[in-house]
Structure 1
Amino acid sequence: MKKYLLLGCLFALSLAACAQKKDKKVKVPADMEVKDTDSTAIATFGGGCFWCTEAQFQYLDGVLKVESGYMGGEVANPTYEQVCTGTTGHAEVIRVTYDPRKIDYPTLLQAFWVSHDPTTLNRQGNDVGTQYRSVIFYHNEAQLKDAEHYKKELAASGAYKDPIVTEIAKEGPFYKAENYHQDYYSQNGSQPYCYYVIRPKLDKFKKVFEKKLKP
C-alpha cells in the first residue's frame, strides 16, 4: 500500500510541476474509426489480463467506456485462441473512452501503472506470455510525451526495486475481443479468477483512487 501511495504522490507532484477466453460466433473487425472529439478522448493500455484492467478503469470518474481487445500484432481479426498462443504479437488491451474535462491523460497513466506490475516482462502473476506485456499505445504526440515523461519520473522515484519494462508504442488496429470478455468482472464476479485475482487488485485500486471514483 505504501508503494501505491508513493505513486499517487509522485504523479500529483509531477502534475503540479508541469502545471499544466471462447466465443467463436463473434469476430469483430478492426475498428479505427473511434476518434477524439471535443468531449471525448481515447487511451489504450495493456497491463496483463484485460479482465483485470477493465474492471479497475471502469470505476474512474470521467471514464465513459472501457472495451477489452487486442492490439500490437500482425494478424488481422485475431481470435482469443490465436492471441493466447503468443504467436500473433498482440497484447491484451483496454481501449478507454474518457471525458478529458473530468479526467486527464496523466491520471489515466497513473491508474495504468497502479493497476499492474510494470516490472515483470511478459507476465502478470500466473498469466505468462507476450500477450500479457506492459504496454502503452499512444494515439498522438501529446500522449507519447506524457507517457515517456511519467515513465522516467516513476523509474526515478524508487517506487520499484526492479526496472520498469513498460513498452511505449504507436497505436495500431484495435480488434475488440469476443463478447464474453466485455464487462467480465461485473458479469462473473463469483468466478474463482474474479474473486481471488481481480477482486484484491480492485480493492487496492479503489483505495488509491478513492477521490477519483464515480459517485
Structure 2
Amino acid sequence: MEANAPAVPVDTTGLAKATFAGGCFWCTEAYFERLQGVEAVVSGYSGGKKANPTYQEVSAGATDYAEAVQVYYDPEIISYQELLEVFFATHDPTTLNRQGPDHGKQYRSVVFYRSPEEKRLVDDYIQKLEEAGTYRDDIVTKVQPFKKFWDAEPYHQDYYRLNPNDPYVRSVARPKVLKFESNYAKMLKPEYQD
C-alpha cells in the first residue's frame, strides 16, 4: 500500500462513519476497534487544508491537521452517542493541543461532525459534561464540520496490535487501553473480554 492509500480492511457498505481526534491516533484507534459494532478504524489526518499530508509534516506541526481516526460502525449495534461517550472518556478534552506526553496542535481534541444532528449530539453532550462537573477544567474540544480525511501511512494502521513492544505502546498506550478495557468491558467485542 502506498502512503495515503485507502486503509479500510473491510467492506464498509452500509456502515456509518465518525471522525475524532484525541491525541495520538495509535491509542485512539485501539480504543474504538475494541467496541462491538465498530467494523473498522483507520488512523489518519483531518482538519487541515494541504492535500496528501504526511506523518512527517503533521507530527512536526507543519500543517493544520490533527492526528485523527475514522470509525466505521453499525448504528444498529453502537450509536453515535455511545461513540461520543467513549471518545470523551478516553482522552483529556480539557488540555489544549496536548495529550499526555504528546503536545502540539496535531494532538488537539476535535469532533468532526457530518450532520446537524451529530453537531447537536456533540454540543449537548459537552454541555452535559460541563454541567455535571465531570472535569475540573473547561472542555476545549473543537466541534468542526467534517471536510476530508486522509489515511495515514500503512505502518500506522493497527499500530497498537502490530507493535506491542514499541516503547511508546508499552509505556503510554498499553496502560490506557487496559484501563479502557476494564471500564468498558460490557461494550467490548468478545475477543477483548476476559
Q: Same fold by TM (over 0.5)? A: yes
Task: Give 2:4's match in structure 1, choosing from 28, 31, 37.
Answer: 28
Corresponding residue of 1:200: 175
1:27 is displaced (CA, Å) by 2.5
Which residue identity is paired with 2:168? Y
1:118 is displaced (CA, Å) by 0.5
Corresponding residue of 1:60: 35
Output aligned runs, 1:140-159, within 5 Å: 140-159=115-134
Task: Give 2:21's match in structure 1, choosing from 33, 46, 53.
Answer: 46
Pair 1:76 & 2:58 matched: no
Q: Secondary structure at the match of 2:75?
A: coil
TM-score by length of 1: 0.83
Q: Secondary structure at the match of 1:87?
A: coil
Pair 1:181 & 2:156 matched: yes
Q: Could you tell me how far apart the structure 2 residues matched to 1:174 and 1:136 are?
A: 13
Q: Could you tell me how far apart the structure 2 residues matched to 1:30 and 1:213 are?
A: 26
1:30, 1:174 within 8 Å by CA — same for their partners in 2?
Answer: no
Pair 1:124 & 2:95 matched: no
Corresponding residue of 1:7: none
Aligned residues: 186
CA RMSD of aligned residues (A): 1.6
Pair 1:161 & 2:136 matched: yes
1:125 is displaced (CA, Å) by 0.9
Q: Could you tell me how far apart the structure 1 residues matched to 2:186 and 2:158 are?
A: 23
1:91, 1:131 within 8 Å by CA — same for their partners in 2?
Answer: yes
2:5, 2:153 within 8 Å by CA — same for their partners in 1?
Answer: no
* Percent identical: 49
Q: Could you tell me how far apart the structure 2 residues matched to 1:27 and 1:53 are?
A: 20
1:29, 1:77 within 8 Å by CA — same for their partners in 2?
Answer: no
Pair 1:172 & 2:147 matched: yes
Which residue identity is paired with 2:163? N
Following TM superposition, where does structure 1 have runs of at least 4 consecutive aligned residues deviating by more than 3 angstroms?
Answer: none
Q: Could you tell me how far apart the structure 2 residues matched to 1:200 and 1:52 are?
A: 10
Pair 1:111 & 2:93 matched: no
Which stretches in structure 2 are left out of the alignment for 5+ residues?
none
Corresponding residue of 1:15: none
